Chain A
Amino acid sequence: MSDAFLLSTASMGTVVTIHIVGGAASSDRAAHHRAAERALGWFREVERVCSRFEPTSEVSQLSSRAGEAVPASPMLFAATHFALAVAEETGGAFDPTLGSLLEAAGFNHEHRSGWPVRIAPATNGAASFRDIELDADAHTITLVRPLLLDLGAVAKGLAIDMAAKELDDNGYENFAVDAGGDLYFAGNNAAGEPWSVGLRHPRREADIIEEFRVSNSAVCTSGDYERRAVGGGDNTAIEHHIVDPRTGTSAKRCASVTTLAPSAMVADALGTAAFVLGPIDGLALLERHGLDAVIITPALERTATAGVPAAGGVYRGESPTTGRMSAG
């Protein structure tokens, strides 16, 4: 009867759902269930390592040890390494040291309980990504000065990628990982067609502004309409959570940026950077990295890369390039 298996959990401030196509037989369902649990396990794992909202997370611990070369887990190291590479590539339009600015603006509530958290050390507002040093040989991270490392723009994407990798590695070809606005689609949906994706209208919540189909690609949207900082905090220059690190104010040139990439982490981080850079420079950045995107401005003007399909068309990414672990 049901030909898709779904499993959901609350993680990273949103509901995460794994869809696995097929599974009418109960033995299939049992296997699907185990695989989906493993995939969701990665969300918990990434949160445990990378969430700045959890005082016991590895990244929070790191933030309290400025000046030391702190040994990092492979995950924290890889996530930080990637975040710094994006920061460098974008000249600081993306910066993982935004933590203290965001905290000052009221983004300091644990997402499930709503409890405020205080984990910020005395931070210096002038900190930037250049104050983080990585030692690839020793696998250590050094915060040169006190700062709050915020891997938010990287962590959710990483968790999606890990979940997708887990499913792919378990032999699944048709599945979706849905973490709020960020998704990864593999193969086809239960109807045997590429997954259908609707882009939300940035100003009218219930409306879809554009729709096409996607297979083997991550689709991540950064929008100015999510998580508006209303009434929280004392920094009125920050109206929503995408902040231009170079000015310390909310980025205003885009209303939404939807990025298509082989990896959700790449889509998320570069999409966020593009949002800050604005439609022209942002699109150029994404094109330079071979990614596709749709950018909608606050005036509802649309720009997109050439690879974005027309309404109803199909976007096919490459099937996982890294290959399955089982394939060697």
Chain B
Amino acid sequence: MTPIKNNLVALGSAAVVAVYAAGYARTREAAERFAVEDSQRRQEYERHAQPAPVAPVPVAAEPTKDTSAHAAPPARETVTPKHTPAKTASRPHDAAPKAADTATTPRVEVASKPAEPTPPASTPTPVAPTPEMTFKVTPPASADSTTDADKPLKDGVYSGYGRSRHGDIEATVSIKNGKIAEAFISQCLTQYSCSWIAALPPQVVARQSAEVDYISGATQSTNAFYYAVVAALKKAK
């Protein structure tokens, strides 16, 4: 019997480590995509909520002419077309800017990887600061300092629409005693089922805010819902 046969647990752990080491850089792609989407959404929110931008900081790095939200991505730091050998196709967005980019070199890195592991956890790497700043700066600025946001919510039931390229969503909020007592999706006109974002309305109530989580794979619907709630809350002012 070879060692393999009786040590499946060890073999399983070894597989995880090997795969992780080889693909370490790859999941950055997802994180970066989120960062882009997030900064887009926050910018959108700024436009909607406060015509006179008070907190331009996060936008500064972006090009000025992005009229549609979708124009923003190219703005993310200059993506140096870096050609990693052979596997380029599978990791197109390795988004070069990271300083310690050793992780992008395939396989051979396994041994050296442990030495530069900090980027994801502690130092957010050059990519992260943008969304990080966006997070810190805009929500307070847009939600609290605008004239709109200072007004208390008037009791009643209000609906608003949010659009996405997959269709529209109507959200309804019910305000009681100045608080969001209920929130729900009153119309789902997206081409995908709204069950994917069923978790979002309770978040609106829990957080007393339109700031809901993203649902991976349903970003468009999430955004549409978000805008719908923002629109509904506006009517409650």
Contact = CB atoms under 8 A, between A and B. Distances in A.
Interface in B1-51: 4-6, 8-9, 11-24, 26-31, 33-35, 38
A39 B139 CA distance: 26
B216 A7 contact: yes
B114 A74 contact: no
Contact of A30 (B107, B135, B206): B135
Contact of B117 (A34, A36, A42, A169): A169
A169 B20 contact: yes
The B interface, classified by DSSP as helix, strand, loop or mixed, is helix
Given A75-B19, A165-B20, A321 B13 contact: yes
B113 interface: yes
B9 A325 contact: no
The A interface, classified by DSSP as helix, strand, loop or mixed, is helix
Contacts of B118: 326
B215 interface: yes
A25 to B, nearest CB: 10
B26 A158 contact: no
A81 B17 CA distance: 14
Contact of B23 (A8, A37, A39, A74): A74
A41 B31 contact: yes
A79 interface: yes
Contacts of B214: 7, 33
Contacts of A27: 132, 135-136
Given A34-B35, A37-B31, A326-B121, A78 B19 contact: yes
B120 interface: yes
A29 B28 CA distance: 17
B139 A38 contact: no
B19 A169 contact: no
A208 B122 CA distance: 41
Interface string B175-215: 00000000000000000000010010001001100010111
B13 A322 contact: yes
A1 B205 CA distance: 10
A73 B29 CA distance: 18
Interface stretch (A121-129, A258-266, A299-307): A258-266
A85 interface: yes
B8 A86 contact: yes
Interface string A1-35: 11001111111000000000000001101110111
B190 to A, nearest CB: 15
Contact of B31 (A38, A86, A289): A38
Contacts of A322: 13, 16-17
Interface size class of A (residues with CB under 8 A): 35 or more
B99 interface: no
A192 interface: no
Given A37-B216, A322-B13, A74 B19 contact: yes
A265 B20 CA distance: 14
Contact of B15 (A35, A81, A171): A81
B213 A7 contact: yes
Interface string A285-326: 000111100000000000000000000000000000110111
A162 interface: yes
A137 B206 CA distance: 55
Given A8-B216, A26-B135, A26-B139, A165 B199 contact: no
Given A74-B107, A162-B20, 8 more contacts: A9-B217, A35-B31, A81-B15, A166-B20, A166-B27, A291-B9, A325-B20, A325-B114
Please list the 7 inter-chain residue pairs (A to B) with the smallest Cβ-Cβ separation, ordered nearest first: A41-B30, A74-B22, A78-B15, A9-B216, A326-B117, A41-B27, A38-B27
Interface of A: 1-2, 5-11, 26-27, 29-31, 33-42, 44-45, 73-75, 78-79, 81-82, 85-86, 88-89, 158, 161-162, 165-166, 169-171, 261-263, 265-266, 269-270, 288-291, 321-322, 324-328
9 contacts: A2-B203, A7-B214, A26-B139, A38-B27, A38-B31, A88-B4, A89-B8, A162-B16, A327-B114
